[in-house]
Structure 1
Amino acid sequence: MATAAATQGPAAPRPPDGVAALPVRNRGLLTVGVMLATIMQILDTTIANVALPHMQTALGATADTITWVLTSYIVATAIAIPITGWLSDRVGSRNLFLASIAGFILASALCGIATSLPEMVAFRILQGVSAAFMNPLSQTVMLDINPPERQAKAMSIWGMGIMIGPILGPVIGGWLTENYDWRWVFYVNLPVGVLCFGVLWWLLPSRPIRRRSFDLFGFSLLAVGIAALQLLLDRGQGEDWFQSGEIWLEAGVAGIALWMFGVHLFTGRNPMFDRSMWKNRNLVTAIGFMLVIGVVMMATMALLPPMLQNLFGYPVMDTGLLLMPRGIGVLLTMAVAAQLGQRGVDPRWLVGIGLALAAYSLWDMTRWTLEMGSTPFIISGFIQGLGMGLVFMPLNAMAFATLPPQFRTEGSSLMNLSRNIGASIGISLVTTVLARSMQTSHADLAANVTAERMGSIDASMLQVLGATGDSALAMLNAEVTRQAAMIAYLNDFKAMMIVTALSVPLVVLLKKPKGPIENDPAAAGH
């Protein structure tokens, strides 16, 4: 069991080739424990979604307030992520990782026994804070316990967990809710969490402790700005956006707080993030790409389940299975990207091709119809998975290839924060476009349902038929609504395709590491 020693000054020199920064007794078993913790945390971002209707009844909540079960988790995670680097340096990465897993287990158990909405929200906040530290720390551990020549493969393994988690979440959540009870979407974390805690307690080493001051002013500005932005994005559609005073207030608070944080970051004496990090072109560009990945990955995953269930009539389990090919595509291209990186292929080409594939898959989705079978869902999802897998691993490798090792945890936390904010923005925007496009399309379609255009319909006969005529009109309106919803989904896919395609040229901003990523000394972050 490793102990942390307090250190000051510059980071230690790069270890010799074939030697990890933090050698461990059993790297394989520790990798399993770290990845289980990562997948467990990622699953919780989506596993509770399908159980919301059941929670609403049990907790006595309304359709509007039950969404706080999701919002509270997202906001708490977003606020806590930025302080991961400081806490890791202050208390030790090992201690923080173990504490976050223990807190996550406790919060999951409390969520499972919650009897009211306020209790559930409070416990989800605790769960979100605990979860915030797990992703950046797990990525740092995977880099630290592997020698330079194995780091790209380690990032591909870590990325698989990150990308597959949101896909498996609805499947597992739906199965547990249908066959057991909604509370099991939280109880399922307990045995997995205890196993992870045991493995990490036994094997996890710690980075040296670095005593540094905490930028309370900067953190306060960032926390207020992120919380206001998350609330704005979550509640905007329900409050009719800027027709509401609440949304104006949240937008003003977010804009002022984040602006002040930016000024403080580049002019303050001891800012929250070291200013030298922002001179790293690869890291800054990767943070921007993570916004796009968050939008495309999470917004698509937010749109597809309700579309498959409500418009195409697939049950929850079948919906989850139709989304699985996306995960298979991610697995395949992450493995391929690691091999190509070892052979010296320019990782910028991989990122560009991956984004192009993702854009193509979204274009293909704009051609979907209500009469098609399941094959187009499988093909488009698989291609999109191939694209996302090609983007994720090389992007992470390039971001950390030129980043000094003492900034790994902070860099990872910034990239995770960027992905989370991108997901929030993406989900909010596609939800808004969906709702408004449905209204517009419904009005346009209904305007063409007239006696002149539909000669087989006799309005006078519908009046004579009474209740039967009303039922026929209701069926006609339901079909118009269904067609309008499909048009709205296609408009969303088109918007995401444009965003993804426009991000492809930004690949030129990335700096190619010298030589194969795995064999370059810079790959270790030195």
Structure 2
Amino acid sequence: MSQAVLNQPEGEDVSKRIFITFSVMLATIMQALDTTIANVALPHMQGAMGATQDQISWVLTSYIVASAIAMPLTGFVAARIGRKRLFIYSVIGFTIASALCGAAQSLDQIIMFRLLQGIFGASLVPLSQSILLDTYPKEQHGSAMALWGIGVMVGPILGPSLGGWLTEYYNWRWVFYINIPFGALAWFGIAAYVKETSIEADRKFDLFGFTLIAVAIGSLQLFLDRGESQNWYSSMEIIIETGLAALAMYMFAIHMFTAKKPFLDPAMFADRNFVVGITVGFMMGVVLLATMALLPPFMQSLMGYPVLDVGFLLTPRGFGTMAGMMIVGRLARRVDLRYLMVVGTLLMIFSLWEMTLFTAEVSSWDIIRTGVVQGLGLGLVFVPLSTMAFSTLAPKYRTEGTALYSLIRNIGSSIGISVVTTYLAHRVQINHAAFSEYITPFSHPLHMAAEKGMYDISTQVGLLSIDAEVNRQAAILGYLQDYRLMMFVCVVMLPLIFLLKRTKS
């Protein structure tokens, strides 16, 4: 741990902590926003670039894959050139790449600049977490992680509404230009107040180990991101990506435990809290973005909400998350953090159970209320988890550990989105077949509906109307079954919390 920050007079120490917190929070929010803010602008980019649906999806895929591959490098590069220097380079690179994305004139350009964005942005979240853990004394880690968690959790939640507003009233390019003032302020604060760490000039780079993990992560991300569009295992591309991911990960695991100087030190995994922390973090990632991926299309396609209204109705979820994190910040030193996580998980289970009862006529208030409850639960889980996962981990593993923690959570989010999307398509087909069995010439409810003038079963138009309604009801039930799946993920997560060892401040 960097002792220079902790050994200063208290007044000066507190003021520097405020500036450091503000600076790294800006960098965290900037990167977290970019995980979702560009999604709503894709149709506008597609029109401006003259691209197909499959081509424009690479704007998201390139960023996700580049970020996933570069993130494991954070620990090694920080050790070789210094954590502060890496943070500054990352902020400057990310800001410049954002400006270039906004100015891009072709699809090839924006994909290339998004790759750069992903590479430079990969280090921002783990470095910000590591710096805050070192800046604050151990008894204040809960409060520090509450502040850090606001950026990590609220950024992706507010991204779609902010992106929709910027796209609607300005231009899709502003979803990238908005990063420029954030980046400039973050660079100034980091350069002025963050202390540099010691440099390990003799640390060797495990090229073979990094190549294996890069191939595994890159193949996995491509598999998850493109699987649905390529119809999964009917595509040779998906089969190859699955094989590469499995083989490379298997070889990396063997290499990590047998090499003298592996890319990731296996000693990290001897810490129980860290291992349980990244496991629960993976499941949190699944629930966090998968639920966010389901609600907008449910509200737009089945309830008829315009995109801006969808963003505004989802925003209170972020306020619930912020409230949960503030509660944790207040109670972190008074209450066993595991109890807060249990309460948060129960709130998430309750809100997801309520969502399984949604209909196409569900009120705006019910959407807001369940979102706030779910956000509150996420806040009560995320901050204690981020604190306890590193509470017993040796400080020398902190930068590497935070990078791995963020990576596993991001992979969980990617898997969650792919699973719910595929499961939805599968369940809609099954539900449609099940409902169609009741649409027969002998169906009494169908004849009653026809007598009331709702459908004309004697014409082709009437039959098409009935089929459209069957499709709609099958889709509604499919979404509800997806919410139930997310609820079961939270139920499985609940007992894992008690595997965490309680630590005293």
TM category, shorter: over 0.9
**Partner residue of 1:476 out of 466, 470, 475:** 466
Indicate whether 1:30 and 2:20 are aligned.
Answer: yes
Q: Which moved more, 1:162-171 or 1:190-199?
A: 190-199
Provide the identity percentage: 50
Alignment correspondent of 1:288: 279
Per-residue deviation, 1:29: 2.4
CA distance in 1, matches of 2:82, 2:5: 20
Per-residue deviation, 1:115: 2.1
Alignment correspondent of 2:177: 187
CA distance in 2, matches of 1:424, 1:265: 24
Per-residue deviation, 1:462: 5.8
Alignment correspondent of 1:207: 197
Indicate whether 1:178 and 2:168 are aligned.
Answer: yes
Per-residue deviation, 1:177: 0.7
Indicate whether 1:261 and 2:252 are aligned.
Answer: yes
Alignment correspondent of 1:226: 217
Deviating 4+ runs (over 6 angstroms): 11-20
Give 5+ residue unaligned stretches, structure 1.
1-10, 521-526
Per-residue deviation, 1:30: 2.5
Report matched runs for 1:282-361 at 5 Å.
Answer: 282-343=273-334, 345-361=335-351
The count of aligned residue pairs is 498
Q: Which amino acid aligns with 2:219?
A: A
Per-residue deviation, 1:140: 1.2
Q: Which amino acid aligns with 1:452?
A: F
Question: Residue 210 of structure 1: SS of its match in structure 2?
Answer: coil
CA distance in 1, matches of 2:14, 2:381: 30
Per-residue deviation, 1:19: 7.5
CA distance in 2, matches of 1:28, 1:13: 17
Please say if residues 25 and 203 of structure 1, whose CA atoms lie closer than 8 Å, have aligned partners that are also in contact: no
Q: Which moved more, 1:189-198 or 1:485-494?
A: 189-198
CA distance in 2, matches of 1:452, 1:93: 73
CA distance in 2, matches of 1:49, 1:140: 29
Q: Which amino acid aligns with 1:502?
A: V
Indicate whether 1:238 and 2:201 are aligned.
Answer: no
Report matched runs for 1:354-393 at 5 Å.
Answer: 354-393=344-383
Q: Which amino acid aligns with 1:81?
A: M
**Partner residue of 2:47 out of 51, 57, 60:** 57
Per-residue deviation, 1:50: 0.5
Alignment correspondent of 2:78: 88
Per-residue deviation, 1:470: 4.4
CA distance in 2, matches of 1:121, 1:24: 42
| Closer/same/farther in 2, CA of residues 430 and 77 from structure 1, 3 Å limit | same
Question: Residue 400 of structure 1: SS of its match in structure 2?
Answer: coil
Please say if residues 6 and 136 of structure 2, whose CA atoms lie closer than 8 Å, have aligned partners that are also in contact: no
**Partner residue of 2:57 out of 61, 64, 67:** 67
Q: Which amino acid aligns with 1:66?
A: I
Alignment correspondent of 1:140: 130
Please say if residues 291 and 418 of structure 1, whose CA atoms lie closer than 8 Å, have aligned partners that are also in contact: yes
Give 5+ residue unaligned stretches, structure 2.
none
Alignment correspondent of 1:8: none
Per-residue deviation, 1:346: 1.7
Please say if residues 80 and 132 of structure 1, whose CA atoms lie closer than 8 Å, have aligned partners that are also in contact: yes
Question: Residue 263 of structure 2: SS of its match in structure 1?
Answer: coil
Per-residue deviation, 1:210: 1.7
Q: Which amino acid aligns with 1:476?
A: I
Per-residue deviation, 1:416: 0.2
Alignment correspondent of 1:119: 109
Question: Residue 342 of structure 1: SS of its match in structure 2?
Answer: coil
Deviation track 1:123-166 (CA, whole Å, cap 9, x = no partner) reads 11100011100001111111222223322111101011111011
Question: Residue 207 of structure 1: SS of its match in structure 2?
Answer: coil
Q: Which moved more, 1:53-62 or 1:475-484?
A: 475-484
Please say if residues 42 and 166 of structure 1, whose CA atoms lie closer than 8 Å, have aligned partners that are also in contact: yes
Please say if residues 18 and 149 of structure 1, whose CA atoms lie closer than 8 Å, have aligned partners that are also in contact: no
Question: Residue 399 of structure 2: SS of its match in structure 1?
Answer: helix
Q: Which moved more, 1:24-33 or 1:103-112?
A: 24-33
CA distance in 2, matches of 1:417, 1:488: 30
| Closer/same/farther in 2, CA of residues 17 and 113 from structure 1, 3 Å limit | closer
Please say if residues 333 and 389 of structure 1, whose CA atoms lie closer than 8 Å, have aligned partners that are also in contact: yes
Deviation track 1:1-43 (CA, whole Å, cap 9, x = no partner) reads xxxxxxxxxx7779979989x9586321221121111111100
Report matched runs for 1:393-404 at 5 Å.
Answer: 393-404=383-394
CA distance in 2, matches of 1:404, 1:477: 61
CA distance in 1, matches of 2:279, 2:488: 16
Indicate whether 1:422 and 2:422 are aligned.
Answer: no
Report matched runs for 1:452-471 at 5 Å.
Answer: 452-453=442-443, 454-455=446-447, 456-457=449-450, 469-471=459-461
Q: Which amino acid aligns with 2:290?
A: A
CA distance in 2, matches of 1:137, 1:23: 20
- The TM-score, its normalising length taken from structure 1, stands at 0.90
Q: Which amino acid aligns with 1:173?
A: G
Q: Which amino acid aligns with 1:395?
A: L
Q: Which amino acid aligns with 2:375?
A: G
Please say if residues 354 and 370 of structure 2, whose CA atoms lie closer than 8 Å, have aligned partners that are also in contact: yes
Please say if residues 17 and 148 of structure 1, whose CA atoms lie closer than 8 Å, have aligned partners that are also in contact: no
Q: Which amino acid aligns with 2:362?
A: M
Per-residue deviation, 1:101: 0.8
Please say if residues 23 and 145 of structure 1, whose CA atoms lie closer than 8 Å, have aligned partners that are also in contact: no
Per-residue deviation, 1:447: 3.3
| Closer/same/farther in 2, CA of residues 300 and 432 from structure 1, 3 Å limit | same
Indicate whether 1:43 and 2:33 are aligned.
Answer: yes
Question: Residue 403 of structure 1: SS of its match in structure 2?
Answer: coil
| Closer/same/farther in 2, CA of residues 92 and 28 from structure 1, 3 Å limit | same
Q: Which moved more, 1:360-369 or 1:237-246?
A: 237-246
Indicate whether 1:435 and 2:425 are aligned.
Answer: yes
Per-residue deviation, 1:181: 1.1
CA distance in 2, matches of 1:231, 1:109: 26
Per-residue deviation, 1:232: 0.9
Alignment correspondent of 1:3: none
CA distance in 1, matches of 2:9, 2:421: 48
Per-residue deviation, 1:246: 1.8
CA distance in 2, matches of 1:316, 1:40: 22
